Amino acid sequence: MKALVSEASGGPETLVMRDLPVPTAGAGEVLIRVRACGVNYPDALMIEDKYQFRPERPFAPGGEIAGDVLTVGAGVTEFAAGDRVIALVGHGGMAEQVVAKAPKCLKMPAAMPYDEAAALIFTYGTSYHALKQRAALKPGDTLLVLGAAGGVGLAAVELGVAMGARVLAAVSSEEKLALAKAHGATDGVIYPRGPFDKDGAKALADLFKNACGKRGADVVYDAVGGDYAEAALRAIAWEGRFLVVGFPAGIPRIPLNLALLKGCQIVGIFWGSWTERDPVANAENNRELIELYLAGRIKPHVSLRFPLADGGLAIQELPARRALGKVVVTID
Ligand SMILES: NC(=O)c1ccc[n+]([C@@H]2O[C@H](COP(=O)([O-])OP(=O)(O)OC[C@H]3O[C@@H](n4cnc5c(N)ncnc54)[C@H](OP(=O)(O)O)[C@@H]3O)[C@@H](O)[C@H]2O)c1
């Protein structure tokens, strides 16, 4: 089978097409014919050995896929050949076939196309866990989303709206703000791309404060990091929740006196680890996400599709800060 693989640490341009042996499904596993593979920021980090997990090389990137079950391994009763499934595989998705653990698979609703299915669970799963379990977002809360037109960011916008919050989108361009508003954000700000000196950082904090109003943001969803994090924390409400989701702009250092002054919580989000620790709650979240999708209240925005051979170009869209919503690799 064909796969796009990383043979040495490097950027997306280092990925190469190879013929690999077809994997077999072991006990508790399913073999899937991949139809679409959603691209996520961790794909860009993993091929450069910058992610929490370092797969053994050669490996294909691609952590979430949608496709058709070909065979099931011993002990698998919940799936059968021909089922259309979403699977979280960690890596290996940019290939014609992949093996997934059965508990990491989810049946696709009949009405869901493969590209949207491959663009759903990683981002919406992260953002739903962050807003529901970690922030306890309530109707009427003000939610400030940084990077609101990116993968997890746009999911947070839609889920925030679905949960009854007033959503403010913070993004780096007019085009990104228009996208976030089209997905339900009430308003937002366009921030500069940095780098920021001391005055720039102060101006950035003022930008967020003006956007959030006197009371501030009850919840800040930060999937950007860098200098944006502290500036946004300065705009949080009394007893607000600051969600630490990701760091494409760099890992920030936060003066902890801000947490004291705001009486706020700085809350870490590690969705992947949580899904392992609380599979029952995760399954319930996934069920609710599918319901929200079927009710038309959330819908992955697939802005670009690439063939397998151009998977490197697909990944490159994310660190280049160009991706709008989701980028997907489709496999005919
Ligand atoms: N904690 C968890 O459990 C969890 C789960 C999934 C993903 N994540 C993390 O969440 C982050 C976002 O992932 P994603 O898949 O949503 O990525 P994405 O689609 O590329 O979105 C990231 C956003 O960050 C902003 N950004 C600011 N500075 C940037 C820079 N130097 N380079 C690239 N983007 C920059 C961009 O928005 P603007 O241009 O508007 O600023 C972009 O839309 C990643 O760090 C990822 O590892 C964490």
Q: Is 312 left (phi over 0), alpha (psi -120 to 50) or beta?
A: alpha
Residues 6+ apart with CB under 8 A from 214: none
Which uninterrupted H or E stretch holds 30? strand 29-38
Does residue 286 belong to any structural domain of this protein? no
Percent of residues in the chain assigned helix, strand, coil, to nearest 5: 35, 25, 40
- The answer to whether 75 and 28 are in contact (CB under 8 A) is yes
Distance CA 73, CA 79 (A): 10
Compute the distance from residue 136 Cα to the ligand 1 centre, in Å: 22
Tens-place pLDDT, residues 39-69: 999 999 999 999 988 999 999 999 999 999 9
Same domain, 126 and 209: yes
Q: Is 318 in the pocket of ligand 1 (CB under 6 A)?
A: yes
Q: What is residue 255's predicted lDDT score, i.e. its pLDDT?
A: 97
Residue 242: burial class (beta carbons within 10 Å; 0-12, 13-18, 19+):
buried
Burial (Cβ within 10 Å: 0-12, 13-18, ≥19) of residue 1: middle
The answer to whether position 290 is within a domain reads no
Q: Give the closest residue (by CA) to ligand 1 atom 13.
A: 41
Tell me: do 108 and 214 sit in the same domain.
no
Ligand 1 centroid distance, CA of 169 (Å): 14
Q: Within a domain: residue 58?
A: yes
Taking the CA of residue 154 as reference, the ligand 1 atom at the shortest distance is 16
Each residue's pLDDT tens digit, 73-93 = 999 999 999 999 999 999 999
> Which stretches of the chain are DSSP H helices?
41-46, 114-117, 121-128, 151-162, 174-182, 198-212, 226-233, 257-262, 271-277, 279-294, 311-316
Mean pLDDT of 205-222: 98
Residues 255, 130: one domain?
yes
Atom of ligand 1 nearest to the CA of 245: 1
Our count of domains for the chain comes to 2
Is the beta carbon of 41 within 6 A of some atom in ligand 1? yes
Which atom of ligand 1 lies at the shortest distance from residue 246's CA? Answer: 45
Tell whether ligand 1 has an atom less than 6 A from the beta carbon of residue 38: no
Residue 97: what are its φ and ψ, rounded to 5°?
Answer: -140, 150
pLDDT at 194: 86
Question: For ligand 1, is residue 325 a contact (CB within 6 Å)?
Answer: no
**How far away, in angstroms, is 77 Cα from ligand 1 center?**
37
Q: Report the share of the chain in percent with pLDDT over 90.
A: 98
Which token pair is 3?
């796969």
Query: Among 29-33, 49-53, 158-162, which is the least confidently predicted range?
Result: 49-53
Atom number in ligand 1 closest to CA 327: 19
C-alpha span between 228 and 208 (Å, rounded): 9
Give the residue whose CA is nearest to atom 45 of ligand 1.
246
- Strands 105-107 and 166-171, bridge-based pairing: unpaired
Is the model's pLDDT at 218 over the cut of 90? yes
**Residue 89, domain CATH:** 3.90.180.10
Statement to judge: residues 84 and 194 lie in one domain = no
Per-residue confidence at 332, pLDDT binned at 50, 70, 90? confident
Residues 6+ apart with CB under 8 A from 253: none
**CA 45 / ligand 1 centre spacing (Å):** 11
Q: Which band of pLDDT confidence, cut at 50, 70 and 90, is reported for residue 136?
A: very high
**What pLDDT score was predicted for residue 201?**
97
CA separation (Å) from 159 to 150, 154, 167, 260? 14, 9, 10, 29
Q: Does 152 contact ligand 1 (Cβ within 6 A)?
A: yes
For the whole model, what pTM was predicted? Answer: 0.97
Which amino acid is residue 5, in one-letter code? Answer: V
Q: Does the bond joining 195 to the residue before it have cis omega, within 30 degrees of 0?
A: yes
Closest CA to 229 of 210, 212, 204: 204
84 and 193 share one domain? no
DSSP string covering 124-176: HHHHHIIIIIIT---TT-EEEEETTTSHHHHHHHHHHHHTTPEEEEEESSHHH
137 and 215 part of one domain = yes
Is the minimum distance from the CB of 246 to ligand 1 under 6 angstroms?
A: yes
Asked whether 321 lines ligand 1 (CB < 6 A), one says yes
Is residue 221 in some structural domain?
Answer: yes
The answer to whether residue 280 is domain-embedded is: no
Taking the centre of ligand 1 as the mean of its atom positions, its distance from the CA of residue 150, in whole angstroms, is 6
Judge if 115 and 219 occupy the same domain. Answer: no
Cα dihedral 199, 322, 148, 239 sign: negative
149 lines ligand 1 (CB under 6 A): yes
- CATH number of 159's domain: 3.40.50.720
Q: For residue 60, what are the CA distances in angstroms to 26, 65, 70, 291, 305?
A: 19, 12, 19, 31, 18
Which domain, by its residues, includes 158? 122-272
Ligand 1 in contact with 203 (CB < 6 A)?
A: no
Comparing CA positions, the residue from 308, 303, 331, 243 lying closest to residue 119 is 303
- Pocket of ligand 1 contains residue 178 by CB under 6 Å: no
Q: Is 281 inside any structural domain?
A: no
What does the pLDDT look like over 262-274, one tens digit per residue? Answer: 999 999 999 999 9
